[in-house]
Structure 1
Amino acid sequence: MMWTVGAGDNRAANRPGPSAGLSRRSFAALGTALGAGGLLSACSSGDEDGTSDTAGGSAQALQFWGWVPGLEDLVETWNAANPDVPVEFHRMTGDDGKKVEAAVDAGAGPDIVQLSTHDLPDYVINERVQAITEYVSDDENLYTPASWKSVIVGEDVYGLPQGSGPTAMMYREDILQQHGIAVPTTYEEYEAAAAALHAADPNVYLAGFSPSEIGQWVQDVSQAGGSYFAIEGQAWDVVVDSPASQEVAARWQRLLDADLVKVTQMWTPDYWAAVNAGQIATITYAAWFPVQLIENCADLSGKWKIAPQPTSGGEAVAGDSGGAANVVLAGATDLEGATKFLRWLNSDPESVTKLISVGGIFPTAKVGFDDPALSETFPYFGDQAIYDVYRDAAETAPTTWTDGPANGQVDADITDGFGKVATGGTTFAQVLTDADAAAVARLQKAGLDVVGG
């Protein structure tokens, strides 16, 4: 019963807060952020109903819903060269993601949709998406290992990855140099640097701890080789409370207990005030985050640099906070044509260039790593070519992360618990234990096969 949900179905929640892809400013916007601010646009384009009617010819147009900027132009390019497989684009806004779920369940959904990879397993379980394995059997080497893994559920491929969130450490070069602290490359050095920095200036912390920012937790567990779920045969294994997760939990617990991290909710005025005041000396996060520093901390230009995310043993491995994929939904009648379009959209060199330069994604297709946009230097970061670091991170992120049923509810359980950790009401380790037990109970109630259940 792995892929079938019973009466206890608990549908996936969207990832909360600013870590959700629709609300992030893209990494490519770094080049223009100082001249034109603003978050990723959620406003529709094309017709007033949000549909861009670019399909030509007499063939039935594939309906494609997505949110990446510039998709309208890419669809027009495709249609001009492929009149036999026309595509009609609709820009997703607001709660369109939930509308897709309801429409598919009613047999009236679009053919193709952009989707958070964290939500993909629920689409598979609820039979809202079609496998495209037979059409992409030779495509694995076109993408980074972690991004390819993100579109696989069980033994089948259910989409093509379009953007990812490899992680690196942004750091205040001036603050570390002022106190004679080397940029940490291992977590042992990281904890030592946190202690030395706070001892030198009690108002300065090496990092912040934001209880609600689940992406930072996911990236650390991902880097450690952990996950929320695993698959054994036809059963789900819940591994929220794994040794890898407990390793990350122990590190954060030591830092918090010693008052070596500043507890503050990311994205709030207080958070940005602390960053601008030099109270937070490093921020470890995904490739889309540097633009946030440019937009919210303009006066700190030239003071930030970017280094690889520290590791437990010094090996070259980075985390990934998650990404997006394009999938073919249940009800689509031209699976081969839809997959042909998606293969072009996500791996053709010219298309990938537009996805980077206009859409602002960090590419999952390796061909995108040669794009000039990823080699640009930025005055804000001391003329550093910062995407050299993120490119290496994308290629070294582990392939161990597996999303599972009601992934968003696991996120919510963890962030709810972390809120209590911040006030001393519980521990990181206990939060993992509780979230693990809750996930097992949800899967069993939904009628899914669970390892040991």
Structure 2
Amino acid sequence: MMALNRSLRTFGSAVALTAASALLLAGCSSSAGSDTGAVTLEFWGWAPGLETAVETWNDTNPDIQVEFFRMTGDDGAKIPPAIDAGTAPDAVQMSVHSLPGHIINNRLIDIGEYTDGLDASFTASSWKGVEFGDGVYAIPQDSGPTGLMYRSDIFTQYNLAAPTTWDEYLETARALKAANPDIYIGQFSPNEIGLWTEQVWQNEGTFNTIDGDAWTVEVDNDKSQEVAAIWQTLVDEQLVKVVDMWTPEYWAEVNAGTIASINYAAWFPALLAENAADLTGKWSVAPSPTFAGSDAAGETGGSVDVVPTGTENVEQAVEFLTWLNSSDESLDILIKEGGLFPTALAGLDNPAMLTEQEFFGGQVINEVFIDAAKNVPSSWVDGPNYDITQDALKDEFAKVGTGAQTFAEALDAVQALTVTNLKDSGLSVK
């Protein structure tokens, strides 16, 4: 993997974006707080509860003080040019999917020398997401293991059980349609790629792999094609409702009871309860259906905390971020106050995770998601052009939704586009 690291850094030096202007972000780059040697770090993030966690840290760590800035709106878009201009904060929360693109542009510090043994504190899949080559480029923060949210009242009415495999899911979908043609077992939402990636990930697939000093693109590999076959059947037989997620039309379908299940991430139940409050007590959560011969669970990815290039006090920044994401004290705050679904094993064991949910009839739904988090494959590798691949999938899946092409054709198109884009960017692709 050493060759890959050299390749990434060489490429990053050649194509690093030039900031349009030097963003003068207050407090950027680590600074000494006083003659006593105290350090003040600036940390940008968006997770609820971070203010309280930072305050707690500051109360007991006078030598490493943290100033927190809450990111909203387009604040995330300011970070890349700020790093390029040397004016970035000392630590930043970002999506795990964005790491490779920042790494190849030399925007993140390899913090591996300060994280020896820390991997044992996190789920295997979340730690895999922050490793590239021989380096470690982030501390995992939260994740999105999946579960099957389903209308237990509808399933009971039609004498159906929550499917445990994807084969059973198809059988249950057909039985539900036969019993009531106006109810679909789920939805196909071309605009929400997380519904796709979670299932490919569960099937031990990925969008990319790393081969020596080159990238490979796996968008249309056998694992993805197996998922495509399932979804092609669901769409062809009209077993799922074709509707874009997050739209008023989508929530109208959910509230009308035409969508009987949603297989999605651990953070989605809160949104479901918020947008379908009148359905309190009618939903339950079961483990996601599995692929034959496997107990692997799905995952959508989550956020991580990084140390941008230019940060002076790297060791202190990593010390804070390690505490933030793995200490019992901080995890207790982020879970209770922020509703965070942690990647740290200590967080998964926190009693605060096991609260009954009124919307789900008093069920302790996190029991399902915690089990899932521990069974996510470590197969997933994000590519440096993840956003390009994701947007292309949305465009091609929209054509599938109208019947203009098949899932297999969509994957072929996105595979070709992703390869071309990587090559045009100057990266080696196998």
1:366 equivalent in alignment to 2:372: no
> Which of 364, 367, 388 matches 1:388?
367
Q: Deviations over 1:113-155 (max 9, x none)?
A: 0010000011110000001111111111100111111111122
Q: CA deviation at 1:94?
A: 1.3
Structure 1 pair 446/235, CA: closer, same or farther in 2 (3 Å)? same
* Cα separation, 2, equivalents of 1:70 and 1:385: 22
1:183 equivalent in alignment to 2:183: no
TM alignment of 1:111-190, pairs within 5 A = 111-190=90-169
TM alignment of 1:75-114, pairs within 5 A = 75-114=54-93
More off after superposition, 190-199 vs 369-378: 369-378
> Which of 312, 319, 329 matches 1:340?
319
CA contact (8 A) 1:186 1:312 kept: yes
1:4 equivalent in alignment to 2:16: no
**Identity of aligned pairs, percent?**
51
Q: Deviations over 1:405-430 (max 9, x none)?
A: 12111000001000000001111111
Q: Which residue of 1 aligns with 2:393?
A: 414
TM alignment of 1:185-200, pairs within 5 A = 185-200=164-179
Q: Which residue of 2 aligns with 1:36?
A: none
SS in structure 1 at match of 2:147: strand
> Which of 186, 189, 209 matches 1:230?
209
Q: When the two structures are aligned, how many residues end up with a matched partner?
A: 411
Q: CA deviation at 1:434?
A: 1.0
Q: CA deviation at 1:203?
A: 0.2
> Which of 243, 247, 252 matches 2:222?
243
TM alignment of 1:199-348, pairs within 5 A = 199-313=178-292, 315-348=294-327
More off after superposition, 314-323 vs 238-247: 314-323
Q: Which residue of 2 aligns with 1:440?
A: 419
CA contact (8 A) 1:168 1:287 kept: yes
Q: CA deviation at 1:8?
A: 9.0
* Cα separation, 1, equivalents of 2:90 and 2:10: 22
More off after superposition, 413-422 vs 290-299: 290-299
2:10 partner amino acid: T
1:178 partner amino acid: Q
Q: CA deviation at 1:110?
A: 1.1
* Cα separation, 2, equivalents of 1:234 and 1:310: 36
CA contact (8 A) 1:186 1:311 kept: yes
Q: CA deviation at 1:9?
A: 5.2
For normalisation by structure 1, the TM-score amounts to 0.87
Q: CA deviation at 1:325?
A: 0.4
* Cα separation, 2, equivalents of 1:171 and 1:433: 32
* Cα separation, 2, equivalents of 1:156 and 1:396: 24
* Cα separation, 2, equivalents of 1:286 and 1:168: 6
Q: CA deviation at 1:303?
A: 1.1
Structure 1 pair 50/333, CA: closer, same or farther in 2 (3 Å)? closer
SS in structure 2 at match of 1:351: helix
Q: CA deviation at 1:76?
A: 2.1
CA contact (8 A) 1:50 1:90 kept: no
Q: CA deviation at 1:201?
A: 0.7
Q: Which residue of 1 aligns with 2:404?
A: 425
* Cα separation, 2, equivalents of 1:234 and 1:276: 50
CA RMSD of aligned residues (A): 1.8
For structure 1, the residue ranges without an aligned partner over 5 or more in a row are: 12-48
Q: Which residue of 2 aligns with 1:356?
A: 335
Structure 1 pair 50/374, CA: closer, same or farther in 2 (3 Å)? farther
Q: CA deviation at 1:346?
A: 0.8
Structure 1 pair 267/170, CA: closer, same or farther in 2 (3 Å)? same
CA contact (8 A) 2:27 2:42 kept: no
CA contact (8 A) 1:10 1:406 kept: no
Runs of 4+ in 1 over 6 A off after TM superposition: none
CA contact (8 A) 2:147 2:288 kept: yes
* Cα separation, 2, equivalents of 1:85 and 1:351: 16
CA contact (8 A) 1:176 1:182 kept: yes
CA contact (8 A) 2:12 2:105 kept: no
Q: Which residue of 2 aligns with 1:43?
A: none
Structure 1 pair 205/10, CA: closer, same or farther in 2 (3 Å)? farther
For normalisation by structure 2, the TM-score amounts to 0.92
CA contact (8 A) 2:147 2:266 kept: yes
1:384 partner amino acid: Q
Q: Deviations over 1:361-400 (max 9, x none)?
A: 1010110122222111122212111000000010001110
SS in structure 1 at match of 2:393: helix
Q: Deviations over 1:152-198 (max 9, x none)?
A: 11221111000000000001111111112221001111001111101
For structure 2, the residue ranges without an aligned partner over 5 or more in a row are: 1-6, 18-25
* Cα separation, 1, equivalents of 2:312 and 2:41: 9
* Cα separation, 1, equivalents of 2:16 and 2:226: 29
> Which of 37, 40, 51 matches 1:72?
51
* Cα separation, 1, equivalents of 2:14 and 2:148: 41
CA contact (8 A) 2:16 2:106 kept: no
* Cα separation, 1, equivalents of 2:329 and 2:362: 27
Q: Which residue of 2 aligns with 1:20?
A: none
Q: CA deviation at 1:316?
A: 2.1
SS in structure 2 at match of 1:2: helix
1:4 partner amino acid: T
